[in-house]
Structure 1
Amino acid sequence: MIKYTKAALFITGCSIIAGIASCNSNSDTKTTKTTKTTVVKDSLPAYVHSRIGIYEPVKLTTNLNVLSVNDRKVLPLLIQAAQIMDELFWRQTYPQRDSLLAVTKDEDTKNFIKINYGPWDRLNNDKPFVSGVGQRPAGATFYPAGMAKADLEKSTLKDKFNQYSIIEKDTAGNLAVVPYHVLFASELQQASALMKQAALLTDDAAFKKYLNLRADALVTDNYIPSDYAWLDMKNNSLDMIVGPIENYEDKLFNARTSFEAYVLVKDKAWSKRLEKYVRLLPELQKGLPVAQKYKQEKPGTDSELNAYDVVYYAGDCNAGSKTIAVNLPNDALIQQKKGTRRAQLKNTMKAKFDKILLPIATELIDKDQQKYVVFDAFFANIMFHEVAHGLGIKKTINGKGYVKAALKEQYSWLEEGKADVLGLYMVTGLLKKGALSGDIKAYYTTFMAGLLRSVRFGASEAHGQANMQCFNYFKAQGAFSRTANGTYKIDYTKFGNAMNGLSSLILTLQGNGDKAAVEKVRKDNAQIGTELQSDLDRLSTKKIPVDIIFEQGADVLGVK
């Protein structure tokens, strides 16, 4: 237990950033009044003590010898900007952090609050672990406390679903839109200045352009030019993903974005190996196992697959389950016109494989099939998951607009499910074409072990819901069976058939844009059954981690 508690202390606190505006919950009345203030009577240390050990500590490092002298000077500046994103994410998720920590006496509880960016257990269906806090608000701090969904849906408020804003209510009950660049002006200006300082130092012209445009975007909320500039970068050694990006925190409308940052060092050798797969995207789109009307769109042709070592996580991507691959930008129009970049976070991915996936496979995969669980298959499955985000359908076929807008809060989990199963479909197709090497049994078995890993994230998390839908669908199709000794054995032929069936189902649901139908599928299928839960409990008994936490920063890298 001690090693997990100690590791949790490495999570960034408020005091790290010199000069940043106070992150006390009273420092921004616009933010704090959107979340109900709670009175903390006492902690629930027994629960916390049983849960904090689910995170395995990992040190984030990389080979700095591949970087120029100037790039090593750039890294600390990027990390400082990332730490500001971390503070802003706290203000979006739980702005009363400092007052909560001040009255919390149990050290494990304090650290668990930091891991979860609040008093709700992100990997256990947002269960409260501090007395008196109540249930986690579906709308986080993006909307006034107690606001009904219908209040905003019926409102004539202009730009009411702007992803870079919050909704406020004045004393007269009138709703208003407040942009992020206004709400968080001071902090965003500081982050922008740090990124411009980094741009002055970097040797790479394309990275310099991106940093300057992204710095401007932080203080204007106009991210499109910097998204295009990011896709134009080809030869940079350093990279940074930064800003309000994902919609996962907004469980009311899936509209508002949360602040986050990744500081990355490109693995150019691995990235070179991945180039060939981008050229196959149009052909892969044509072959999707769904009716023609659901696959008529053409994916962007300027997409990239790259591998990186992450040296810093901040904000949304550091909360709960840690991201091991990304596919950006999220803007559907940019994806169609230009494409996306799929970033494989290799060092984090390898840590999860070694510390989590292999132990799970040893416990739950049939003994005769355990030999097929290999890292190269895990890497490929995750990589093509990200590629698959760019395939399929972006606009509904019946005039309901973009799929994301039509499905609202039901979009994220279904999109993650699409990426899971289409990624596997792509692996299957590439193996048949000879464009990918290996044994199909390795990819399928490793995928199955990956399902058992991801369902542990819980039913409140988009990836957990997506994997539960896949697990239950594949189970119903006989793609695997549970043996008498409590392990899972794959029927490889039925596994492939189930993959095609679920791909068709999800693409059809997305193309139809029927939110009610998607919600019914989630309620029926994205749930953990009693038998599976007992198997997952075995993993906890064996003390197999659910996820990882990081020891990270300039000190860890040695780049002060």
Structure 2
Amino acid sequence: MKNIKKAAHLLIGCAMAAGISSCTGSNTNSGNTSTAKTNTSPDSLQDYVNHRINIYETVKLTTNLNELSVNERKILPLLIQAAQIMDELFWKQTYPERDSLLNTIRDEKTKSFVRINYGPWDRLNGDKPFVAGIGPKPEGATFYPAGMTKESIEKADLKDKFNAYSVIRKDASGKLNVVPYHVLFATELQQASSLLKQAALLADDPGLKKYLNLRSEALVTDNYTASDYAWLDMKNNGLDIIIGPIENYEDKMFNARTSYESYVLVKDKVWSKRLAKYVSLLPELQKGLPVAEKYKKEAPGTDSELNAYDVVYYAGDCNAGSKTIAVNLPNDEIIQQKKGTRRSQLKNAMKAKFDKILLPIAKELIDKDQQQYIKFDAFFSNVMFHEVAHGLGIKKTISGKGFVKEALKEQYSWLEEGKADILGLYMVTGLLKKGELTGDIKDFYTTFMAGILRSVRFGASSAHGKANMQCFNYFKEKGAFIRTSEGTYKVDFDKFATAMNGLSNLIITLQGNGDYNAVAKVQKEKALIPAELQSDLDKLSKKGIPVDILFEQGADVLGVK
């Protein structure tokens, strides 16, 4: 036993040497690592893992291959192989000592939980450590030297210090250097690039062929702009792959560095055609935002697309913790303003979450008289317009502090997700009034309320979790819902609309002002789970309702090996 404990402590030293150092918040139910029973295994907090591993429901990712051409079936395995390389790179960014750690763990459930979380911290419970001897999760992952404080990095004299596609490292003399990803991960990126080029040779669609070739170059140069534009220009492709270092969520120190991920997608052309009209309505919706004129002068790009897909492979960042069910890219603000974005609805994953998580939550926590309003079409629209709403609002501060993302640093992601949530609902409300969307507003509001109760379970380490905590607390203060004597939630539809406009105003104003301290204060005071809500969330766990989903996925699952 002593040897195993010693090994665990040695691992911590190895991880720290690789650049690991600090921590973040807390969330849902579950046991406390400090109260683990004395008879637990020395290499894991066994009771905790046994409980928490059951929060996930496994879902098989498939699609109708009959809709694909012969060449598309040949391309799919190549795209999946490239995605698997992104998965390995994400491990190197989050916990490079994976294999050493897994070799010290005897319990198979703990090993599985490490793989699910891409490390020994529970992503859906405030990054709580669940392996004995492991300290808090580092705020900067492996992007910065171990032990360096945020302040010392800010003061460091380095050119291009916060380049999204680089890390900061110390050389043998202790001097700090910025190391580009394409240098640090040269071997893996060359392999992924080669796979994309092979796929491009097989691609029949000119747009897909161009994108794959440009993305293959981008991976080995860290210059993604041309491939982002080519991706937006694709219109008739049946297959798609989102691949590369994209989101900033893992860098909780500065929200500067990007993490590797990939989605392999098969387009649902029928659903995509239905969605095409909504992007053209963005300018009109921007003008009507419930905020002062100076915060809504920007014109959102309208060369954007709304598409529906079956996702057949998740890798890296998007597969860690809560699984993404819709994507709005590129993240580059300049491209967004000039060209727009593509909003990709991951329909099969979305349906799985609705059936296995949202419906059971609604049956437990939504008032019986309003459960009739919980509908998949409303859930799909709420999620879809969340992604569209990333294009609304403000990208540049009115205070001369540059882009909102730069001004708010690590506070940006959670507030931006909150903006997309609430402006998505604002869009639904406006489109229903204009007759551009069909349905009952009660469906959308009640399903949105159930969606809040679903997403707050992602916890304080998740940008989406924080966003939903803020929304819950704001709506509660405004009387947008009540908690009944039976412990269920009942929407007040009139006050819900009023609260929606009020929160929209608050978030856009915070973003437009670029006031970092004000946003940090809101996060500290409002992005938290009240005790009463926590008690209600505990009921969901006791009922065995999953928090999120895992995927059975790959070429063998699809039958395209």
TM-score (normalised: structure 2): 0.94
Query: Which position in structure 1 is the counterpart of 2:3?
Result: none
Q: Which residue of 2 aligns with 1:467?
A: 468
Contact 2:15-2:97 within 8 A present in 1 as well: no
Instruction: Determine if contact 1:406/1:513 at 8 Å carries over to the other structure.
Output: yes
What is the rounded CA distance, in whole Å, between the counterparts of 2:525 and 2:173 in structure 1? 41
Q: Does 1:557 align with 2:554?
A: no
Aligned length: 532
Describe the shift of the 1:538–1:508 C-alpha distance in structure 2 as closer, same or farther (beyond 3 A): same
Equivalent position of 2:319 in the other structure: 318
- Where does 1:8-407 land on structure 2 (aligned, <5 Å)? 33-35=18-20, 42-407=43-408
Letter in 2 for 1:131: A
Q: Deviations over 1:30-67 (max 9, x none)?
A: 99632369xx9521111000000100000000001111
Give yes or no for contact 1:459–1:465 (8 Å, CA) kept in 2. yes
Q: Check the 8 A contact 2:200/2:208 in 1, yes or no.
A: yes
Amino acid at match of 1:202: A
Query: 1:402-551 residue pairs with structure 2 within 5 A?
Result: 402-551=403-552
CA distance in 1, matches of 2:80, 2:171: 37
Range with bigger deviation, 163-172 or 515-524: 163-172
**1:15-43 CA distance string (max 9 Å, x none):** xxxxxxxxxx99xx999632369xx9521
- What is the identity, as a one-letter code, of the residue corresponding to 1:506? I
Per-residue CA deviations over 1:153-174 (Å, capped at 9, x if unaligned) read: 1122000000000001224332
How far off is 1:150 after superposition?
A: 1.1
Q: What root-mean-square deviation, in Å, do the aligned CA atoms of Structure 1 and Structure 2 show?
A: 1.5
3-state DSSP of counterpart to 1:486: coil
Residue identity matched to 1:35: I
Q: Is the 8 A contact 1:255 1:408 kept in 2?
A: yes
The residue type equivalent to 1:541 in the other structure is: K
**2:329, 2:341 within 8 Å by CA — same for their partners in 1?**
yes
CA distance in 1, matches of 2:20, 2:474: 38
Please tell me the residue identity of whatever aligns with 1:137. Answer: P
Answer whether contact 1:31 1:91 (CA < 8 A) is retained: no
CA distance in structure 2 between the partners assigned to 1:378 and 1:33 by the alignment: 42
Q: What letter matches 2:444 in structure 1?
A: Y
Identical-pair percentage:
77
SS of the counterpart of 1:215?
Answer: helix
Asked whether the 8 Å contact 2:458–2:465 carries over to 1, the reply is: yes
| Displacement after TM superposition at 1:113 (Å) | 0.3
Distance across 2 between alignment mates of 1:453 and 1:34: 34
Report SS of the residue matched to 2:276.
Answer: helix
Q: Is the 8 Å Cα contact of residues 94 and 118 (structure 2) preserved in structure 1?
A: yes
Return the offset for 1:534.
0.2
Does the CA-based 8 Å contact 1:378-1:443 persist in structure 2?
A: yes
Task: Give the distance between the partners of 1:254 and 1:71, measured in 2 at CA.
Answer: 36
3-state secondary structure, aligned to 2:277: helix
Q: Distance in 2 between matches of 1:398 and 1:111?
A: 48
For 2:277 and 2:290, locate their aligned partners in 1 and report how far apart those are by CA, in whole Å.
Answer: 23
Residues 31 and 95 in structure 1, CA contact (< 8 A), matched pair in contact too: no
For the 8 Å contact 2:15–2:96, the answer to whether it is kept is: no
Is this contact kept in 1: 2:21–2:137, CA < 8 A? no
